[in-house]
């Protein structure tokens, strides 16, 4: 089972190499629509970066080995260009500067850990990256650029966010909010270990489809469905959710980064029939403010506040 660390960014993390850290947490509802691009920030000079208190980002789960090897992948999912410098963390190699345009991917071989430095509105940021991992640049109007865990290094698919499971009490509330019956066909886009689709089939007897890019998670979901006795009601597909066929879906759940929800909006608008319910965990759908029918806040067993946004197509 993979790490269950929070999906929400916490600006900084622990500093030890072995300690998992950070990430950013985004403030869901409050996530303002992306603003117009600004000039790319300048990465800190080498000498200044040497003095940084390097923070380590360790991804929540093992990478999808078959696509990543030891390459480090950095993707810019924001609408702002980000300038940064990378260099071997042991100080032996040259520093490389790069400007990553919106939507672009930087992938480079990493025999060992790598330091990355960039400017954000909170000042110069320094992180230690680990071989084989993937990372995302996001951008918030208040804080500027931030570096986050990614989920995979594939260039042919969107990275909608790393695997962080929804706590059971939140799953329960999301399903209640979706007003499911046994007539529904329910989809979870980026389904992780399949828990939401499986719970929907168990509680409401509805058919369900889970889609995840990670084939290992899809396998795990199938095993979990067998164990839960609902395999005949559910189906798990390995693939990119941004290219999903949602034919027949009457309800959809999302627990993805704010940018990812926004990227999926055209698909939901095109494929879902009027009346379909869309329930999001922690981050709403930018541009759908007028469609929101309800929002719920609850504190789950992990002691954190969770937000649920309900929309009707």
- Positions touching ligand SAM (CB under 6 A) are 7, 151, 157-161, 163-166, 188, 190-192, 195-196, 211-214, 217, 240-242, 255-256, 281
**Minimum distance from residue 15 beta carbon to ligand SAM (Å):** 25
CA nearest neighbour of 128 among 213, 59, 192: 59
Rounded to the nearest angstrom, the gap between the alpha carbon of residue 76 and the centroid of all alpha carbons in its chain is: 13
The residue among 3 and 95 lying less far from ligand SAM, judged by its C-beta, is 3
Q: Least distance in Å: CB of 131 to ligand SAM?
A: 20
Q: Identify which of 177, 139, 135, 168 has the alpha carbon closest to the alpha carbon of residue 152.
A: 135
Q: How many helices (H) and strands (E) does the chain have?
A: 6, 16
Nearer to ligand SAM, 139 or 236 (CB): 236
Beta bridge partners of 123: 120
User: Is there a contact between 267 and 276 (Cβ–Cβ < 8 Å)?
Assistant: no
Cα torsion through 230, 233, 239, 243, rounded to 10: -150
CB of 299 to ligand SAM, least distance (A): 17
Nearest-approach distance from CB 169 to ligand SAM, in angstroms? 12
Q: Which is nearer to ligand SAM, 56 or 224 (CB)?
A: 224
Torsion angle defined by CA atoms of residues 241, 242, 247 and 251, in that order, rounded to the nearest 10 degrees: 70
Indicate the residue among 242 and 295 with the shorter CB distance to ligand SAM: 242
Task: Report the nearest approach of ligand SAM to the CB of residue 255 (Å).
Answer: 3
| Closest separation in Å from C-beta 2 to ligand SAM | 9
Q: Which CB atom, from 48 or from 245, has the smaller least distance to ligand SAM?
A: 245
Give the chain's radius of gyration (CA, Å). Answer: 20
Given the complex with ligand SAM, which of 41 and 63 has the nearer CB atom? 63
H-only helix segments in the chain: 46-50, 65-68, 168-177, 195-204, 215-228, 258-271
Residue 150 contacts residue 46 (beta carbons within 8 Å): no
**Structure tokens given for 3:** 């790490």
């Amino acid at each position: 089972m993979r790490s269950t660390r929070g999906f929400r960014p916490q600006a900084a993390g622990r500093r030890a190499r072995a300690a998992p850290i950070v990430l950013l947490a985004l403030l869901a509802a409050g996530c303002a629509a992306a603003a117009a691009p600004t000039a790319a920030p300048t990465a800190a000079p080498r000498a200044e970066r040497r003095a940084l208190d390097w923070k380590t980002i360790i991804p929540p789960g093992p990478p999808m080995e078959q696509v990543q090897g030891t390459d480090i992948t950095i993707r810019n999912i924001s609408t702002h260009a980000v300038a940064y410098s990378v260099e071997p963390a042991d100080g032996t190699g040259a520093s490389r500067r790069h400007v990553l345009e919106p939507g672009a991917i930087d992938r480079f071989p990493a025999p060992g850990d790598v330091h990355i430095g960039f400017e954000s509105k909170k000042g110069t940021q320094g992180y230690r990256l680990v071989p084989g991992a993937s990372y995302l640049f996001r951008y918030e109007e208040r804080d500027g650029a931030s570096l986050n865990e990614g989920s995979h290094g594939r260039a042919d698919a969107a990275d909608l966010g790393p695997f962080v499971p929804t706590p059971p009490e939140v799953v329960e509330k999301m399903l209640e909010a979706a007003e499911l019956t046994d007539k529904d066909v329910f989809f979870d886009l980026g389904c992780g270990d399949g828990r939401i689709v499986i719970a929907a089939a168990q509680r409401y007897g509805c058919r369900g489809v889970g889609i995840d890019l990670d084939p290992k998670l899809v396998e795990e979901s199938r095993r979990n469905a067998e164990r839960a006795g609902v395999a005949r009601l559910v189906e798990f597909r390995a693939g990119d959710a941004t290219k999903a066929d949602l034919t027949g879906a009457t309800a959809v759940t999302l627990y993805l980064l704010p940018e990812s929800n926004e990227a999926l909006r055209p698909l939901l608008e095109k494929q879902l029939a009027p009346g379909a319910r869309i329930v999001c965990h922690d981050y709403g759908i930018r541009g759908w403010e007028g469609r929101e029918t309800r929002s719920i806040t609850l504190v789950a067993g992990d002691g954190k506040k969770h937000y649920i946004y309900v929309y009707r197509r």
